[in-house]
Amino acid sequence: MAQNIVIVNTGCANISSVKFAVERLGVKVEVSDNLTIIKSADKVFLPGVGSANAAMASIEQKQLVTTIQGLTQPVLGICLGMQLMVEKSAESLTDSTPCLNLIPGEVKRMQVGDLRLPHMGWNTVKPVAGARLFKGIPSGTYFYFVHSFAVDISEFTLASCQYGMKFSAALHKDNFFGVQFHPERSSDAGAQLLKNFIEL
């Protein structure tokens, strides 16, 4: 059965790469910031690159905040999109940016000792047992990351990753899922994860 898949046009770049990755699975997808279209979707993607405060300002300006907070269908935040799902982000230098508050947690600058930031490139991901988003993806599979900020491990961590510190590679609460890595740039494993999400 054809699904109605919508990528929220958050006003950030990089939306086209997520769209192409979903279309490669043979699934039709629409990019929209229309509240009615987003609400009526079967699955919603929340992509994002750049800074949390710029993305939140764009989402607020498009009056999307309460719409996204009220969604009951599965929603997948990707990279910055995942970070926007928690309570706040310490990414702006002056003060913390309030985020969408869908999943408890806070985005903080990574403390990685002598390692270089951003954490960029392939790294292994360990999902929690029985995580449906990672069905058919073995623990220790490599995914592609680009980020300097991360969410700590908590009861909402769906998968973890290690880079100078342990952090949440994926989050989950209710119908809200988020991944810190870029599935659209993560080869077969990324395609499998997108497929798993669409089939939830």
Q: Is 119 a catalytic site residue? A: no
Quote the CA–CA distance of 24 and 160 in Å, as a whole number: 27
Taking every pair of Cα atoms in the chain, the longest distance, rounded to a whole number of angstroms, is 50
Q: Which two tokens stand for residue 51?
A: 């800074």
* List of long-range contacts for 56-59, beta carbons under 8 Å, 24+ apart: 56/84, 56/97, 56/98, 56/99, 56/100, 58/10, 58/11, 58/12, 59/10, 59/11, 59/84, 59/100
**Set 79, 91, 147, 172: catalytic member:** 79
3-state secondary structure of 141: strand
The CA-based angle 73-130-179, given to 5 degrees, is 55
Q: Is 99 a catalytic site residue? A: no
**Set 99, 155, 184, 199: catalytic member:** 184
Q: Is 30 a catalytic site residue? A: no
Task: Tell which residue, 131, 126, 130, 122, has the closest CA to residue 188.
Answer: 122
**Set 119, 147, 172, 182: catalytic member:** 182
Catalytic residue IDs: 79, 182, 184
